Chain A
């Protein structure tokens, strides 16, 4: 797995300062791009696809001062959120205020120690990655559950997450099984499909009626409506990206939350779903092949221009004795892992064999609590404001747990 280094841009007109700071940052393991001319740096920044994670910026430069540079960076959507550390030999309060008002995130005196430089750089990068990975503020009405490696529990998580959101707030959710040809979700929920969206292959209208889609849904007594997968090879081949486009606007309206079992490979329909979903839960197991598959998936998402914060890795701990712990996985993926689901192998298999979703059979287990907490994080920003009076022992427990953290 290739190392995923943070990338830092230095803009400093003094070749000597540039040389020294660049050497220090490379020594610390960062990728560095440097310019001694702010105009050229800005031109590069606004045209490159290799956006830096952090900018170190001089203030007094002949072609353009640092404050103007910041204002121009902040004015462009693609660069507006890049953290900026001002390098300044001006240390009076007025200069600090001007820098911070222009939009700098922090400043550092040029006479500061190298350790202070190291710590401030690390702090700004950590804050940036933390913001990207925070899901407490995401309004995730459509949640795709996905992995590039099979057997890591994508369907299990999709089903149990749908139930968890439903039960937390007492609302209905819609689960869309996009794993074609298999029908795992229906099987695991003991439901028998009558028709699937494959029947829309001959649809010629530009829109599809809600009642038609509703007729395909299967009701589960946990409050989840299942849109089953097309079964068999022939039906599966009828599901196209165009069909996903046709169904998407309507399927979102069927319930307050839409959870999609997006399977474990990239196809045109899957990519269309992943692009449209508010959030992608990238499920992985603590083993190297799974981490590597997740790394590759993250790279594809990045190349497709998906916002970094849209993709949330979830470690499903199906190998409890693995030496690959969450910290190592997070370092490898350069993503914070906020959700680790403990494995409850015996009960999980029993639930599948009985056709009863796990969370319904073991509602108080650590595994169910982890899934419910994830469900809360994904739905609370919308639901807490609408249901301030809503209270159940489970919901209150999760609220308190999150507040403590």
Chain B
């Protein structure tokens, strides 16, 4: 199944910019479909650990570690065009930078919600293949 080439046929998500992986797929030629699938599987495999690290950083108040984990999640999400997650990470980075520590928790709740929706969307695509 073609996962990305015709975005009208797939379950769309407001949190995913399909153009990013479309570009990657086209760039990679014949291997494009396989590599896109592997990249999504890698994202679904790695992100729960990163989300757990972020949860723990907030729980123990380790802001330096939180900065690194949030930055990592922002970057990896942007690679797949998961703009919902990368934008939420950017918001959290900004409140950390401004020292508004009490605003981290509500943003983190939103981040978890957005990631869950993205993960459900991706899992649906993988299992539909």
Contacts and interface: CB of A to CB of B under 8 A. Distances in A.
Interface stretch (B8-16, B73-81, B116-124): B73-81
B91 to A, nearest CB: 14
Nearest to A88: B75
Contacts of A120: none
B24 A15 contact: no
A24 interface: yes
A62 B29 CA distance: 34
B25 to A, nearest CB: 11
Contacts of A58: 75
A19 B34 CA distance: 13
Contact of A89 (B24, B68, B71): B71
Contacts of B38: 19
Of B35, B42, B46, B76, the most chain A CB neighbours within 10 A belong to B76
Contact of A17 (B27, B31, B35, B75): B75
A263 to B, nearest CB: 48
B75 A15 contact: no
Contact of A23 (B35, B72, B80): B35
A16 B24 contact: no
Given A89-B74, A110-B78, A16 B43 contact: yes
Contacts of A16: 39, 42-43, 46, 75-76, 79-80
A114 B35 CA distance: 15
A27 B68 CA distance: 30
A321 interface: no
B20 to A, nearest CB: 8
Contacts of B103: none
Interface in A20-55: 20, 23-24, 27
Contacts of A20: 24, 39, 79
Contacts of A62: 68
A4 interface: no
Given A20-B39, A23-B35, A15 B78 contact: no
Contacts of B68: 60, 62
B28 interface: yes
A113 interface: yes
Interface string B37-71: 01100110010000000000000000000001001
B42 A19 contact: yes
B23 interface: yes
A89 B75 contact: yes
B28 A24 contact: yes
Contact of B46 (A15, A24, A111, A113): A15
Contacts of A15: 42, 46, 76
A353 interface: no
A177 interface: no
A327 B20 CA distance: 35
A58 B78 CA distance: 14
Interface string A58-76: 1010100000000000000
B42 A110 contact: no
Contact of B79 (A17, A27, A60): A17
A24 B78 contact: no
A114 B23 contact: yes
A23 B38 CA distance: 11
A14 interface: yes
A110 B42 CA distance: 18
A249 B78 CA distance: 61
Interface of B: 23-24, 27-29, 31, 35, 38-39, 42-43, 46, 68, 71-72, 74-76, 78-80
Closest 7 CB pairs of A and B: A16-B76, A14-B76, A60-B71, A114-B27, A89-B75, A62-B68, A17-B79
Given A15-B76, A89-B71, 12 more contacts: A16-B42, A16-B76, A17-B75, A19-B39, A19-B42, A20-B24, A23-B28, A60-B72, A89-B74, A110-B75, A110-B78, A114-B27
